[in-house]
A and B are shown apart, each in its own frame.
Chain A
Amino acid sequence: MSLLVTKDLVKWFGDTHAVDHVNFTVKESEVLALIGSNGAGKTTLVNLISGLFRPDAGQILFRDADVTHQSVHGRIKAGIARSFQLVNLFDQLTALDNVALTIFSREGKIANLVALAAADSAVWDEAHEILRLFGLDAKGRMLAGGVSQGERKLLDVAVAYALRPKLLFLDEPTSGVSTREKAPIMDTVTSVVRSTGISAAIIEHDMDVVFNYSDRIVAMHQGTILADGTPDEIRRNETVTTTLIGTTETH
């Protein structure tokens, strides 16, 4: 069953078709990888779905409801959350505060001016639990701006996860980290996602990560969808292989 469907989604930047009549779907409880070269339109597509950009044409349906013209806040309420390619955290707050703030927001408690945040033990317990899930419990008291890049990437995902979304977009969760750190990060992220049954759409350039961790792969090229299939199907797709992945020639 499809969780998210886009119908002929279009986004222009001047004369450039960043997203050109894209029909994209995400199914329930799947880990989907969105691949493509730089400028293929992956991040623009996620920005359109998450509400950062407004589409020029087309429709976005989430759980059969039209969210095309909803605000970011409305989409979050509906169950769409995202992380960012460049880590976007509240650097002057602790890692624990980053997660707790998100929980306060999710619970609708954030408008409360006259109650001490520290007094809400349920929120802090949940924040601790989320940090533990992502292996960051030891970093809870550190400022978010002071932890390592790999931990920042994980914290970025943890903050998005704290919204308890039904669909989580992860924009290059392993970019900017060492090769050695990539597997632990993806192990952690996919185990949390799979254990809670939510869907995740991961934008990724590292093909090892893509083929090892995703159930389905959507390949984009020049604003359009080039291919859509399982990892094995994408491996055998000559168009994708020659356009995006490349081949190893033997002499």
Chain B
Amino acid sequence: MTFQNSGTLATSRARRSLARPFEPSLLCSPPAEQSGENRNEWKKSTEEHEEWKRTTAEPWTYRRQSSYLIEDEEQQGPTESRFGISSGPASQPGQHCSEEEAEHPDRHRGPKVDGPQEEVNGRRYEKEETRNHVTALVPLILPPYGAILLAYGLVMAIGALGFNLLLGYTGLLSFGHSAYFGVGAYAVALMVKYLKVGSMELFLVGAVAASVLITALFGVVCVRYTRIFFGILTLALSQVLWSLAFKFFWVTGGTDGLRVPTPSLFGGLVTGAGDKTAFMSHAYYYYVLIVFCVCAALMWVIVNSPFGMALQAIRDNETRAEFVGVRIWRYRWVAFVVSGVFTGLAGALWVPLNGLTTPDIMHWTFSGEIVFMTVLGGFRSFAGPIIGAIVFNYLKTYAVGYTVYWQLLLGAVLVALVLSLPTGIVGTAGKLAARFQRRG
């Protein structure tokens, strides 16, 4: 395959990308504003990334990275994976792809899969060639794509549950939770890069430790303030982490991010060898489900504990809470740390699903998404953030698949939902149920 319009940096980048297995994030050139030294840094980062990949045990192939991508993707144009991470030839806003890439997105997907395929819900997926012993026992309730999509929703639900401990129960609106999500994700990626760790359990432990460290430090600064001051501080600190992830490319991979291989689960009992789609839609899906259930149960206990009551007291009336003996800053700090750890845990679960972590997930706009999914579901109820995260995930995914103007469509839908459901989905459902009960 040759490129006709050679000469542009974007094209040469695309050509280089064809010489190796598919890597979506490497297809696009650095942002337009990057030039000169920055561009050289970017090249250096890419070379280091290549070197790291050569030293890893598992080869990266298109099939392992994105085999669950639907085949009719090329008809719908470039797509973007959830949360704005490029998963195909699509480019992020502000990044370039060559015209040829845009016209022939399939050219950059690496070798076509020759193996057998199966059709599910009118869409063709690669047939699972190998199934590990666990997935063989798991009943196929959902099609692979649906299971993976739900897994994303559940992961975000864990993050939203953590976020809502601050917003719904403590009365603190954080605009910096993308940072803790990113800390979890990067903790996993850095464990892979430097420690060659492949166990999901170790990933979770590492992510929790990193989240505790960062949120404990940030919390000391933030919890002395409330309202807009708290929000601005959390936002500013998250942007500090984002810029570190962005600039320290020799550690974080810069805009290229860091790849994370398919992890082993349950202490190595379940491995990701074989078909990645099968692994993600079965074993990993159930793993996420189990972690989600544990997290939801733990959060439910926390918000219904005496500590949870104290947080609600602080939310309702800080002065009175102090005069019944609640140490305001201390409890806010603990809530901040717990909230960050849940979000960090979500980041750790998310990154193997996505296969890649980039600084985008630490950007404040992603914090906005966490806020939005929580408000959408209803931050005054325990289940609200869970429902909101799953619904938001579906809305975003289908909006991305429906139009290139998906942000506009998603924004319009979300504004309509918030205006029509001011107490969120769960709050509105509760009101409707109460109304029907009264009539009954």
Contact = CB atoms under 8 A, between A and B. Distances in A.
Interface of A: 50, 52, 72-73, 76-77, 81-82, 84, 88-93, 97, 100-102, 104-106, 109-118, 120, 159-160, 162-163
Given A101-B310, A113-B338, A90 B321 contact: yes
B305 A91 contact: no
Interface string B296-313: 001001101111111011
Interface string B325-356: 11100000010001000000000000000000
A23 B307 CA distance: 39
A110 B307 contact: yes
Contacts of B327: 73
B116 to A, nearest CB: 49
Given A88-B319, A92-B315, A93-B313, A114 B324 contact: no
Contacts of B313: 90, 93, 101
Contacts of B304: 116-118
B301 to A, nearest CB: 6
B312 A88 contact: no
Contacts of A90: 312-313, 316-317, 320-321
Contact of B306 (A52, A93, A104): A104
A93 B326 contact: no
B312 A114 contact: no
A82 B310 contact: no
Contacts of B317: 88-91
A163 B316 contact: no
Majority SS at the chain B contact face: helix
B323 A117 contact: no
A90 B323 CA distance: 12
B121 to A, nearest CB: 42
Chain B, interface size category, equals 20 to 34
B305 A106 contact: no
Nearest to A104: B306
A97 B322 CA distance: 16
Contacts of A116: 301, 304-305
* Interface-central residue, B306, B319, B326, by most chain A CB under 10 Å: B306
A113 to B, nearest CB: 5
Nearest to B315: A92
Interface of B: 298, 301-302, 304-310, 312-313, 315-317, 319-327, 334, 338
A90 B314 CA distance: 8
Given A109-B306, A112-B305, A118-B304, A93 B323 contact: no
B352 to A, nearest CB: 28
B324 A102 contact: yes
A76 B321 CA distance: 12
B324 A93 contact: no
A115 B315 contact: no
A52 B318 CA distance: 12
Contact of B316 (A73, A91, A120): A91
Given A111-B307, A113-B302, 15 more contacts: A72-B323, A76-B323, A82-B323, A90-B321, A97-B309, A100-B309, A101-B306, A101-B309, A101-B313, A102-B324, A110-B309, A111-B306, A114-B302, A115-B306, A116-B304
